Amino acid sequence: AGVRIVQVVHGDGTAEPIAHAEDHLHAFPAAVAEQHKCDVGAVTVAVDSRGNPLDVGREHRLFTPAQRVALAIRDGGCRWMGCDRPASYGEAHHIDEWVRDDGRTDIDRGILLCRFHHMQLHHGGWRISRHKKDDFVLHHPRGQTFALSPRPALRYAWAVAEPWRKRFHAAA
């Protein structure tokens, strides 16, 4: 799953501008660390004024395989408007950001996005909200909003192959 990010947060709530890989071999600027946290998880370490760890955060950052299957069934693939990428290309996105919004790793607060749109969301200033059972809304950085409709989950099951009656013929 990759090396997790360690982000140090001071008692006053300010985060260090640089995060480190769990193995301490790499340092990342905050923007890169946020993207990486979404991909492979993070350990947020709260420290006191002397740098002593006070809290090491929540551990279950990533969606489980069962949760990803549930998202695939519900979303049918990337939910971004106009995208046709199947669920197999999908990444589970926390609607409420894991660190910033204390987001839960919960299918009710997650949505499936392809890699391209997941990165566009994080780096382009977009955000997604959810108000009711299937009411996902994409928010453009300039204020426009777009409803994100679900797609049929098995849309790709017969996308290339014809149904079996047409593909197979009786043996001679």
Task: Say yes or no: 73 and 124 in one domain.
Answer: yes
Task: Say yes or no: 29 and 84 in one domain.
Answer: no
Task: Say yes or no: 44 and 70 in one domain.
Answer: no
Task: Say yes or no: 143 and 112 in one domain.
Answer: yes
Task: Say yes or no: 17 and 74 in one domain.
Answer: no
What is residue 120's predicted lDDT score, i.e. its pLDDT?
A: 94
Task: Say yes or no: 86 and 19 in one domain.
Answer: no
What is residue 132's predicted lDDT score, i.e. its pLDDT?
A: 76
Kindly give, in sequence order, each residue whose CB lies less than 8 Å from that of residue 32, ignoring residues fewer than 6 positions away.
none
| Domain residue limits at 138 | 65-148
Helix axes 115-124, 30-40, angle to 10 degrees: 150
Q: Looking at the domain assignment, is residue 167 inside a domain? A: no
Task: Say yes or no: 91 and 36 in one domain.
Answer: no
Contact yes or no for 31/122 (Cβ under 8 A): no
Contact yes or no for 128/111 (Cβ under 8 A): yes
Q: Looking at the domain assignment, is residue 155 inside a domain? A: no
What is residue 113's predicted lDDT score, i.e. its pLDDT?
A: 94
Task: Say yes or no: 82 and 138 in one domain.
Answer: yes
Q: Looking at the domain assignment, is residue 31 inside a domain? A: yes
Q: Looking at the domain assignment, is residue 78 inside a domain? A: yes
Whether this model's pTM surpasses 0.75: no
* Token pair of 146 as six digits: 């777009």
Task: Say yes or no: 91 and 47 in one domain.
Answer: no
Domain tally for the chain? Answer: 2
Task: Say yes or no: 86 and 143 in one domain.
Answer: yes
Task: Say yes or no: 49 and 71 in one domain.
Answer: no
Q: Looking at the domain assignment, is residue 83 inside a domain? A: yes
Gap between the Cα atoms of 34 and 144, Å rounded: 24
Task: Say yes or no: 35 and 87 in one domain.
Answer: no
pLDDT in tens, the chain (172 residues): 466 777 777 777 777 767 777 766 677 787 777 776 666 666 667 666 766 665 555 556 778 788 888 888 888 899 999 998 988 899 999 898 876 777 777 788 889 999 999 999 989 999 999 887 778 999 999 999 999 987 765 544 445 555 555 555 556 5
**Phi and psi for 168 in degrees, rounded to 5?**
-110, 140
